[in-house]
Structure 1
Amino acid sequence: MYKRALSFGLLVILVDQVTKWWAENALGNGERISVIGDFLTFVLVYNPGAAFSLGTGSTWIFTIFSVVVVTAIMWVLRKCESRAWAITLGIIAGGAVGNLIDRVFREPSVGQGHVVDFISYNGWFVGNVADIALVLGVIALVIIELLGIECRGSAPVEEAADE
């Protein structure tokens, strides 16, 4: 299952980085592209914080947190036998690494780089593919937990119906 998780994680990272490259090249001059009216637009933003620009000025905390989360996911995946868990954790790790790459390699400095965001949701917030992967991955993780699927491969225990 580790290879499956790695495949999904690498796919998320690849799509995230390619779309960020596209955004910087297509939107770098302040251009705004309407996708669905004003509800969904593409506009380039460099985010120095986390979601909703929270924690601006404390980017290094998010860098450390991302490293811890990705490390924990890799540790859990070593013994994970569930396809659902592996795919979900791979997607979450991919999203975390996608934004971690920005924090490590972008301006203004190592560990404090600004994340490239470009998908604007009705002006409420601006995100990227890594953010979408993180949100969908966490939602899937909650569903997996509610279904009782265990990472170690045990299926949910179903009680026999009383006859």
Structure 2
Amino acid sequence: MVKYVRAVKDQASTIKQNLPFLCPNVDYLQKMLADSKAVVFLAKDKDVIVGVAGGWLNGTPSGYDAEDEFLKEHVAYNEAHLDWIAVKEEYRVKGIGSIFIEKICGWAREQGKKKIWVEVSRKKSDLEAVSFYKNHGFKEIGTFRDQNGEEYATMLKQL
């Protein structure tokens, strides 16, 4: 049975060891775990970390001017940011990502936030993620390209 817990400050290296495919590096994870305006949740099967999700209360500025403009237009500039969700492949399609969304949205709501946003790669391999977020109430509010030319969708959900 998978259990969900909030990660603590000294777990960054352990998280990265268990989920090496996770985007953030150890320094970024440590920064999140030390910041009161961030949260990291873990999914554990027995004592093994099988998934992780992270978010920020104030995810702006995002680092991309076009994305910041979408967020301002939708009155979401100072709202919560769902930074990432990562789940081990053998644990996918078991509801872990859905529970992570519930947990992070609940945390943001408890902190007084009204909206949460996420950016998702529009690469062919990531289009399932766009559908996943749409199925959880996120709406696409715009697209932008990063410094490498990769296209992303900015998605927003009312809490």
Greater radius of gyration (CA): 1
Check whether TM > 0.5: no
* Bigger RCO (CA 8 Å, 6+ sep): 1
Q: TM-score, normalised by structure 1?
A: 0.29
